[in-house]
Chains A and B, each alone.
Chain A
């Protein structure tokens, strides 16, 4: 492991080779937006919110999967990037039915935070109003497809950390949907261990604990890191 020095938004930063631009930026106080990435899970580079400009590269690169290199010059908040991110978040709000005022995680939602951070105060795109349902068949949890942004954090945490692989994605494009097992109601899933990890990593109110009223649910954002540290280092520390 060698130390790598690079420039992020005009600031000289250091990281370790093998680390991603995303991690090094955050460690150095530059907060790059993200949705599909969450520390402790394999990265898939899917949401495209963490795209950054790297000098000498024609294409925008996803920070969450781009390793740092010596002498790299990175820009994370250019006007172009902000415009792209705002439009991506706008697309998400128009895609499904995100009604914050009736959501359990209102004021504790990563999607909402992104909108605030990017100054997105209205939606110009046509709302698609898809007819989606909520699966409340599980004893303790629920899945409301209206609020799902298809980040697949739940799929990955269930497969990679819990080892159950209850969740997966069915169909494609705008019709994609998270399903339990082969499309069973969650409550009837044979593989679900009811561990609740998916609920904690879900960035929105799509996966929620039952029995919570509007704005009452707080997701434990440090939880995954806690488990991964415990597993990798044998230390149960927060």
Chain B
């Protein structure tokens, strides 16, 4: 379609939706589906028919609405309200008289909602991810139009640089600089790659974005391709994400049909194709050079950098790799301008960050907060605190590459620098809460086991070092380790950090180092007294780990 058609279609679809008596949004993301939202959606559809309201009331499935612990969630346009814990018996009421369901109504002025700021997840729960018109009605593809007609490649790049956006895949590299590196490379053949391998245990931010708003990511990639001069894109998505893959395939087909991807995009000379590449479940394939090797059909193993992908990436050509959430930030950023984006966040960390709350916390689920929000606000105001009357012990960010944050640092603002200062990392957005029943040695052992299993085996420090570190940690949890083991463990931490080839090995010691930093006495008790203060580890000759 042309730019004019894009705006016309938006206006027409908005008008159509506004004319409906009621539009019912039923969350069909993983959390709600697991408590029966598909059946609710079907029942609502049947109710609409049997009440003779076809054409006046409409039901659609959406991405994650955030409060997964209260699922299935349903939003109704008639009274602009959110209902939780609904079941099929509520279908009739939801269709014609949602206001009668007051007990199920969720108070959207609660801190859980008002302390959040949704940029990345702005459409999630509000558009049907399987309908491109829903996305267009929400202003979709207008940022691409603005880039192509108003800004030009250099202007687009400028906005991204001005925004201060940093990569959301973990390391936080400034996105504008990365784009510029690729844009500056000579040659016609360049690639844009979206990293959707999301391998951190417990993380589902990227999955939610892909399932809930796939066009957003496609639009972000298209804008990037336009700015750096690429004509081909790949989304590397892990094979376990079947629904995300299905939605992406559908979204790509729809966008191609509407000439928003493919040849002559928005009736201009710009062309950009996107293809999917499915990962086979290796964590290391999220590392950019391993990911590229995997796309090329080779063994998914990292290679030393330099050269970095912007100089020599896919098939040796300049390649831009960004994370799903990074790309999802691009359309609103371009639509509203870099300065608008930079007005949220701290001096060095701009915008918002999506976190997956998990572990010992009341409101498990997906949240999005401005950078710089204190950890306490995230965990207690939004997360609802630790349930079950137990005490907060630590929060873990960054998964197997991250660290544990003890209670004394709860007031730390969540931004790249502050987290690094206290020995953790922003990571990709996993946030696991532990209470006093969690054993920190066992936490360290768990993450080390993950790294050991996921090590690609190319370099010796990581391949053999993680095995030895896991061996020591395992013996600690059984009360079989000595203080000599402790010394070797710390030596290995330094070795892996300083000598491993890629980020996996270099950061694998982080969970150990950070728990040693804040919970060393707990380690010592395991070693010296064969006692687990949390009462979790079963010790030899001390069965049940009695307190």
Residues of A at the B interface (CB closer than 8 Å) are 35, 44-49, 51, 59-60, 62, 65, 80, 83-84, 87-88, 91-92, 94-95, 124-126, 128, 149-150, 168-169, 171-176
Contacts and interface: CB of A to CB of B under 8 A. Distances in A.
Contact of A174 (B303, B459, B467): B467
A150 B457 contact: yes
19 contacts: A44-B304, A46-B460, A48-B459, A83-B491, A84-B495, A87-B495, A91-B468, A92-B460, A95-B467, A128-B467, A149-B460, A169-B299, A172-B282, A173-B453, A173-B455, A173-B456, A173-B457, A174-B452, A176-B463
Contact of A173 (B454, B484, B498, B501): B454
A151 to B, nearest CB: 9
In the A-B complex, the 9 residue pairs with the closest CB atoms: A176-B457, A91-B464, A173-B455, A45-B304, A95-B464, A48-B499, A173-B457, A46-B458, A172-B457
A175 B495 CA distance: 21
A173 B463 contact: yes
Q: How large is the interface on B (under 10, 10 to 19, 20 to 34, 35 or more residues)?
A: 20 to 34
Contacts of B71: none
The residue among A35, A49, A173, A175 with the most chain B CB atoms within 10 A of its own CB is A173
A150 B299 CA distance: 15
Contacts of B501: 45-46, 48
Contacts of B495: 84, 87-88
Nearest to A60: B498
Given A95-B467, A150-B463, A176-B463, A65 B457 contact: no
Nearest to A58: B498
User: In terms of DSSP, what is the predominant structure of the interface of chain B?
Assistant: helix
Interface in B421-480: 452-461, 463-468, 471
Contact of B457 (A45, A48, A83, A169): A169
B312 to A, nearest CB: 13
Interface centre among B459, B484, B499 (most CB of A within 10 A): B499
Given A95-B467, A173-B452, A47 B282 contact: no
Interface string B348-386: 000000000000000000000000000000000000000
A84 B497 CA distance: 11
Contacts of A51: 499
Residue among B284, B463, B471, B491 having the largest count of chain A Cβ atoms under 10 Å = B463
B536 interface: no
Contacts of B498: 59-60, 80, 84
Given A45-B304, A62-B304, A125-B488, A174 B468 contact: no
A87 B491 contact: yes
Interface string B215-239: 0000000000000000000000000
A94 B459 contact: no
Contacts of B282: 172
